[in-house]
């Protein structure tokens, strides 16, 4: 997917010759994936296919491995000491687990991340949005201005911050910061967006705004969300993955998993027997 703005202003972060190749098949698939940290197995034999242009919610009790799975998708898990992985996670035929160097950088660009706690980079609002483009070699004031404006508008932040683009991003409210983080990830044109409990640090109103944004964005992006809040999953999920103790217990369309769970563990979790 190339956003309209990039077409309008005639450039893309992606190299043109690889563009079609990369986007021909953009499925995210996990096959027999195991992960250990030290000697401790964290994820066991995970197999999944993430549907495109939908919101996939990964649910499960604390410490079940949801966030670890999410971090495996863009290999941020690498920064954890003693991590070992087996199996495969592929994005459009490209094996994420065996990617290195330029491949890994390209993969990470294709999979955006919205963190749990908003974390603006130590620079201005403008600098935050332009950061990704700059590291991918896009220069030129006019182009960057257009990108910044487009993505801030996309997350509904433009009118709120257009007068103070050069001010440090740390000065925004928490809710605004989270939307900034979302805009920042969108600005490198990902196909997937990973959101790790992206609304848990927000007040109800900001949380609602971000949720609505996700629903709006799924038209162009595939969104994978880890959430603790079942009610939130119920509100916005199209597809649900339930993980318990490192294993996938049940997957399926949201309606089916929430209203007719097949597995007893899922039923217990949904009815609040454990959390």
Q: Which two tokens stand for residue 79?
A: 């920064």
Q: Shortest CA distance to 155 belongs to which of 133, 178, 174, 172? A: 178
CB of 144 to another protein, least distance (A): 14
Percentages of the chain per state (helix, strand, coil), in multiples of 5 = 45, 25, 35
Residue 150 makes contact with another protein by CB under 8 A: no
20 φ/ψ angles, rounded to the nearest 5 degrees: -65, -40
**Residue 133 vs 265, nearer CB to another protein:** 133
Is residue 3 helix, strand or coil?
Answer: coil
CB of 142 to another protein, least distance (A): 21
Cβ-contact 187, 132 below 8 angstroms: yes
CB of 75 to another protein, least distance (A): 9
CB of 124 to another protein, least distance (A): 12
**Residue 26 vs 76, nearer CB to another protein:** 76
> d(Cα 30, Cα 50) in Å, to the nearest integer?
8
**Residue 92 vs 115, nearer CB to another protein:** 115
94 φ/ψ angles, rounded to the nearest 5 degrees: -95, 125
What does the per-residue mask of binding to another protein show for 65-104, with x meaning CB under 8 A?
Answer: ---------x-x--x-xx----------------------
Taking CB under 8 A as the criterion, the residue among 2, 21, 105, 273 binding another protein is 105
Taking CB under 8 A as the criterion, the residue among 135, 174, 215, 273 binding another protein is 135
Size of the site for another protein (CB under 8 A): 28
CB of 23 to another protein, least distance (A): 16
Q: How many CB atoms lie within 10 A of CB 146?
A: 16
> d(Cα 209, Cα 44) in Å, to the nearest integer?
35
CB of 256 to another protein, least distance (A): 31
> d(Cα 4, Cα 7) in Å, to the nearest integer?
5
> d(Cα 120, Cα 128) in Å, to the nearest integer?
7
Cβ-contact 123, 168 below 8 angstroms: yes
Q: Which two tokens stand for residue 211?
A: 């949720």
**Residue 54 vs 117, nearer CB to another protein:** 117
Taking CB under 8 A as the criterion, the residue among 43, 48, 65, 108 binding another protein is 108
What does the per-residue mask of binding to another protein show for 158-197, with x meaning CB under 8 A?
Answer: -----------------------x--xx--x-----x---
Q: Which residues in this chain contact another protein in the complex, by CB under 8 A? A: 74, 76, 79, 81-82, 105-106, 108-109, 111-113, 115-117, 119, 121-123, 131-132, 135-136, 181, 184-185, 188, 194
């Amino acid at each position: 997917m190339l956003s309209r703005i990039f077409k309008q202003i005639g450039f893309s972060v992606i190299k043109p010759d690889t563009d079609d190749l990369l986007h021909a098949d953009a499925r995210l698939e996990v096959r027999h994936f195991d992960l250990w940290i030290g000697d401790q197995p964290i994820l066991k034999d995970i197999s999944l296919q993430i549907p495109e242009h939908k919101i996939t919610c990964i649910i499960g009790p604390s410490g079940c491995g949801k966030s670890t799975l999410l971090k495996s998708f863009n290999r941020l898990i690498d920064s954890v000491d003693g991590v070992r992985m087996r199996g495969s996670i592929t994005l459009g035929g490209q094996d994420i687990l065996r990617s290195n160097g330029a491949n890994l950088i390209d993969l990470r660009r294709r999979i955006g991340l919205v963190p749990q706690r908003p974390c603006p980079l130590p620079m201005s609002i403008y600098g935050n949005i332009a950061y990704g483009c700059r590291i991918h070699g896009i220069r030129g004031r006019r182009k960057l201005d257009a990108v910044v404006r487009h993505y801030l508008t996309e997350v509904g932040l433009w009118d709120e911050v257009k007068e103070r683009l050069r001010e440090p991003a740390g000065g925004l409210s928490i809710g605004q910061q989270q939307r900034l983080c979302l805009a920042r990830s969108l600005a490198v044109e990902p196909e997937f967006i990973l959101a790790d409990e992206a609304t848990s640090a927000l007040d109800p109103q900001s949380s609602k705004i971000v949720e609505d944004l996700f629903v709006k964005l799924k038209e162009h992006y595939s969104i994978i969300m880890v959430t603790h809040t079942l009610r939130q999953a119920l509100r916005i999920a199209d597809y649900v993955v339930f993980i318990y103790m490192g294993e996938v217990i049940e997957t399926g369309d949201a309606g089916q998993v929430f209203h007719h769970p097949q597995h007893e563990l899922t039923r217990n979790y949904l009815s609040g027997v454990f959390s």
